[in-house]
A and B are shown apart, each in its own frame.
Chain A
Amino acid sequence: MSHAPFLTVQNLSYSYSERQALKDFSLELNQGEIFGLLGPNGGGKSTLFKLLTTLRPLQLGDIQLDGLCYRCSPRELRSLIGTVFQSPALDKKLSVYENLWHQGKLFNLPSPILKKRIDLLTERFGIKDRLRDSAEKLSGGLQRRVEIAKALLHQPKLLIMDEPSTGLDPGIRLELWDYLQEIRRSDGITILLTTHLLDEAERCDRIAIIHEGHLITEGKPLALCEALGGQVLSVTTENTSDILDLIKTELGTTPKIYGNEVRLRLTSDFDKMKTSTLAARLADHPQVQAVTLSRPSLSDLYLEKTGKSWTQH
């Protein structure tokens, strides 16, 4: 790439008194991309989030955003960043309009400009008719929209969101993603988010997995899965132990059990004939509900890289 990256995280290390949360962590983001951070709880995601939003000072390493360094100009940096926190950050006693107004004034927007921005954003997020309502009367989905509008008021160049879909039902989640794609297109904004949802991770341009303070892997979601290679045999059954034994005897490797799923990742040199025959046999097995033979998904990648199942984190 010819131009410098928009956000550069260089050799970041961060320790709390009792443990090290980030270890020599580096990452680069390009302008206008949607980047997803995945990883088990306690893996360093939230520490990175706090450092990027300037809530905590840097210890070792450096961060640069759009040519500004975190150590030299934290205040200028903050005006480039919009943040959506995991916990709702609206004042429930204030109306939607008052919440937005207060935020605009915290970012020192002159009143006429602030009015225009509120107008524009509430229109775009479909909350214009709720401006006078108190924030506590809004549904979870609407509150999230107000929070995103709030984070975008000062026209940040980087939008950082911590688990933006927490507590939202799937329909509203899809809507949220439409909005994100739209603001990326219209404003050229760069979006960095953390997520624990597979479908959300798949929608990102690029993702990175953080585990035990390290960057484990990064890249386009599809490319990362393809790079894993091979196939995945997944069997849904009530009798997981018998099926596990059966697969083990036939193929010689031990699958893993997740709830009522027996799952085996087959490396690229696997025996296709043997596997297809076994899959067909399993499909006829009275205690088996479903059998699939597919390409590895993000959850397989996640498991491979962190040793933890997607649903556990």
Chain B
Amino acid sequence: MSSLAADFSATQSLLWREIIRFLRQRSRIVGALATPIIFWLFLGFGVGQSFHDSSLPGAMNYIEYFFPGTIVMIILFTAIFSTISIIEDRREGFLQGVLVAPVSRGSIVLGKVLGGAVLAAGQAWLVCLAAPFVGFHLDATGILKILLLVPLLSVMLTALGYLIAWPMDSTAGFHAIMNIFLIPLWLLSGSLFSVQGAQGLIAVLMHINPLTYGLAAMRYCMYPANSPWLGSLPSESFCYIVTVVTTLLLLAGCFAVTLHERKA
């Protein structure tokens, strides 16, 4: 039991450190929160007026269409910024200090992933408060679902960031992965354009992208049940199954890479 208490203490402390660090670094707040919001406003008002996606039902404007994608982007960016610090921690020697503590490797993974996820979920929820002002009328079930789905996606994307950052020794490498993998992951999740509107390889990539289902689940939270929009999406329960399974697989991956620590 005492070792479990030690693990809990370590997880708690690592989580606390993530939050303190975040609050000390103003640029991270700007990067994770302001960037997606600006992106959303520019695309929503700019692109929304110039183009019309024929696959979108006429009643919905682009700013509404793009809102769930913005929430996911906030989560993704926060996850990236908090897991990239693993690479700095390793280079600086801070990580070694954590690895020689008498705690299980699992508690280190949890502390780091939950820390990043708390930051991501907190910011995403904050922006969700704006939903009623941009035309979404969330009912109690919708709100409840957001309260659950946002943390789930936050854990999923932070675990993904952790898995990428853990074996890396340069932040430049992480930035490369971010550009060629993480951003496309988001672009091809149905955040900017619907799966129905895509063709060929892009459509295939969108179908196998687990984030597509996370984003669809987000749409289920925000759009009314009778929305024509939801008809074109995979079923809600399937979306949750894919998201939960992906999250568990990624977490298992995090535990595996941390247990098999090679570079110390």
Contact = CB atoms under 8 A, between A and B. Distances in A.
A129 to B, nearest CB: 21
B196 interface: no
A105 B12 contact: yes
A55 interface: yes
A72 to B, nearest CB: 14
Nearest to B12: A105
Nearest to A53: B100
A93 B96 contact: no
Interface string B95-128: 0111111111000000000000000000000000
Interface of chain A, main secondary structure: loop
A93 B97 contact: no
A94 B3 contact: no
B13 A55 contact: no
Interface string B7-46: 0011011101100110011000000000000000000000
Interface stretch (A82-90, A173-181, A211-219, A275-283): A82-90
A54 B98 CA distance: 12
Contacts of B14: 102, 106
A101 B94 CA distance: 14
A76 B93 contact: no
A107 B2 CA distance: 12
A88 B264 contact: no
Contacts of B21: 91, 93-94
Contacts of A108: 5-6, 9-10, 102-103
Interface residues of B, number: 30
Contacts of A78: 100-102
B99 A91 contact: no
Nearest to B101: A106
Contacts of A76: 102
Given A85-B93, A94-B17, A106 B264 contact: no
A89 B17 contact: no
Contacts of A54: 100
A118 B134 CA distance: 51
B93 A102 contact: no
B90 to A, nearest CB: 10
B264 A91 contact: no
B9 A93 contact: no
Interface in B231-264: 261, 264
- Main secondary structure, interface of B, reads helix
Interface in A79-117: 79, 81, 83, 85-94, 98, 101-103, 105-108
B20 A98 contact: yes
A107 B102 contact: yes
Contacts of A79: 102
Contact of B96 (A89, A98, A105, A150): A89
B102 A83 contact: no
A92 B264 CA distance: 20
A81 B100 contact: yes
B6 A85 contact: no
A105 B9 contact: yes
A56 interface: yes
A256 to B, nearest CB: 37
A105 B17 CA distance: 11
B17 A102 contact: yes
Contacts of A87: 91-93, 96
Residue from B12, B17, B25 whose CB has the most chain A CB atoms within 10 Å = B17
B101 A91 contact: no
Given A81-B100, A105-B13, A107-B101, A50 B20 contact: no
Contacts of B16: 102
Contacts of A56: 264
Contacts of B20: 93-94, 98
B5 A90 contact: no
B264 A105 contact: no
A19 interface: no
A226 to B, nearest CB: 38
Interface centre among A77, A93, A105 (most CB of B within 10 A): A105
A106 B103 contact: yes
A227 B24 CA distance: 57
Interface in B190-221: none
Interface in B57-112: 89, 91-94, 96-104
B98 A106 contact: yes
A3 interface: no
A92 B104 CA distance: 25
Interface of B: 3, 5-6, 9-10, 12-14, 16-17, 20-21, 24-25, 89, 91-94, 96-104, 261, 264
- Nearest 9 CB-CB pairs, A to B? A87-B93, A105-B13, A55-B264, A78-B102, A108-B6, A106-B101, A89-B93, A89-B97, A79-B102
Given A83-B97, A89-B97, 5 more contacts: A53-B100, A75-B102, A79-B102, A83-B100, A91-B17
